[in-house]
Structure 1
């Protein structure tokens, strides 16, 4: 069996029963179940949701996205072996820890397979909730060029690259293009202040003004829970992105929950603690792959300049990367997942066949 066979690169062609188009993102695909199947599963499995809540099957892939593009390697290797299973395992671990610490639920109702979540439909808050404990990456680039104001917060002079910030910093940005909000440009992923959220809470999909404080508390508490757990395995939680949404439980209570993934190498920076104390940065995240791409191509501006997106997409489409580049990121992802969860990440011989068998035999979702 070839390495390419063990990678789930295409995840939007599964024969899951649905009456809606399959939504395929950079990494995950979402299959909305029929109303009949949703009602049946809620009843059979006892999920804590309204009887008529729409459910979906969310299938992760092993695709690797960076700089808004999907990358591939020589020999038909269209993903990173073990990546999907590693990401889901890490998220599942943190979501359980959040519940154990009485923080909030997530959108996940069931985990039939390492690549699969059964999720409930949520009303998303249109904010990428970003939390930073160290100054690095895009924040350092802006700071080093004289920027001191970030999302309404002023940073002091004299900070050094990769240093710990005086306090945990929340720097939210827009999720998608939001229109007609005073002072907020109509572009995706633009920084916003707390004042912006307060003044336009409903435009950001918050149900109540008080929920801004609630989301900040869930963000801060979630960050601290993960940070404390990582410190026990001598890893540093540098920064991360959370997403939130609203659902209604079986008792009719609306609640704010965590959505998407949390604390993974795709959504966070994680540094090795021992190396950091020695003055070195060892990334246990996607950052090394980004750096590889910047060094690999002769004109890295294509990857950094949003005015050159057509060239960037062509670069990703037309270039077979060395297999070693994807195997290096595979080692990083599986190693940090095994450290965090204490469980080995097993490569499946045929993940697609396994998923189909489980969803057919245990959930009756395959015709």
Structure 2
């Protein structure tokens, strides 16, 4: 297995700026951006020390698949995908919130619920729910979009009162979020999966709201297998899932939740390969396509040439 793409460091004609996110390297030009999905992996808002081979390709190609399929619901930022790890698109001004939507009580929401909270981001939850239960109706639980450090839960009321997003725009974001989640859920179900929860990011380009970043990938979403879901819930068993949650669980079991003083456990070759295989499995399951690994021999030059030809 290849070593993975941990960083890119290019300088292009006309390049105005560069931004290194948790996973993506973003090359900024006058009207467009070139986004490289690296093989970095983050959990609890911490970038882990070793890359996961093919993870970036999986994320980029799943995102491309879903962005194309939802373009009639909401316009998006993409203009081309010239390489398995690269997307070129419009340079939008992002909203400072992430629109998280949950159809099931899992992950962060379950941890909050288990701790006794019956309201998340101002949304009330009923008593008596179990982990991974379907919620009475999908709920939107936004988070702030932090440039550095941890994203924080925030309510609709606080978003509006603090002027983070105008009421008109926020209502549109909520509508888009619900429509995208319904579409994503239907597509997942057709492939034998349940879209448990996910997040969407939006921005503005020439005063028009566009869907930006990735959607419905294992980094931004949680999937359960549909087959056996009800039986597992009835018997109190763990759900079989395709998501990054198993990475978080591995970290938790090894004493790491991103808190000060905690040490990231060793990422052995076996752990790295298992994570890579999970990402590939999700790609094949959700798209119905066989994964074709990109040439990794000179990945850096391959990516550079793809960007140069499309900016």
Flag whether TM exceeds 0.5 (same fold).
yes
Alignment match of 1:342 (pick from 288, 294, 304)? 288
TM-score normalised over the length of structure 2 = 0.90
Contact 1:85 1:345 in 2 (8 A): no
Aligned pair count reads 304
Alignment-derived partner of residue 277 in structure 1:
230
Is 1:25 the equivalent of 2:24? no
For 2:82 and 2:123, how far apart are their aligned partners in 1? 43
The Cα shift of 1:144 comes to 2.1
Task: Say if 1:132 and 1:197 are closer, same or farther in 2 by CA, change over 3 A.
Answer: same
**TM-score where L is the length of structure 1:** 0.77
Q: CA RMSD in A?
A: 2.1
TM-superposed CA distance for 1:327, in Å, is: 1.0
Q: Which runs of 5+ in 2 are unaligned?
A: 233-237
Q: Deviations over 1:183-237 (max 9, x none)?
A: xxxx95232222223334xx31x3x422222111100000010010000111011
User: Rg bigger for which structure?
Assistant: 1
* 8 A contact 2:121–2:156 mirrored in 1: yes
2:44 counterpart residue number = 67
Q: How far off its partner does 1:86 sit?
A: 0.6
Superposition pairs of residues 158-173 of structure 1, within 5 angstroms: 158-173=128-143
1:251-262 equivalences in 2 (<5 Å): 254-262=207-215
Note closer, same or farther for the CA distance 1:15–1:125 as it changes in structure 2 (3 Å cut). Answer: closer
CA contact (8 A) 2:45 2:258 kept: no
Equivalent in the alignment of 1:42: none
Counterpart-to-counterpart distance in 1, 2:197 and 2:110: 12
Q: Tell me the secondary structure at the aligned position of residue 208 of structure 2.
A: strand
Give the match for residue 353 of structure 1.
Answer: 301
Q: Cα distance, 1:81 vs. partner? A: 1.6
Mapping of residues 168-187 of structure 1, within 5 Å:
168-176=138-146
Partner of 1:325: 271
1:56 corresponds in structure 2 to 33
Give how far 1:21 is off.
4.0
| Structure 2 residue aligned with 1:213 | 171
Matches within 5 A, 1:135-154: 135-154=105-124
Say whether residues 1:119 and 2:89 are aligned partners: yes
Deviation readout 1:73-103 (Å, 9 max, x if unpaired): xxxxx3112111110111111111111xx21
The separation in 2 between residues aligned to 1:153 and 1:83, in whole angstroms, is 34
- 1:95 matches 2:67: yes
CA distance in 2, matches of 1:293, 1:197: 32
Partner SS state of residue 300, structure 2: helix
Q: Which residue of 2 aligns with 1:3?
A: 2
The SS at the match of 1:284 is: strand
Match of 1:81 in 2: 53
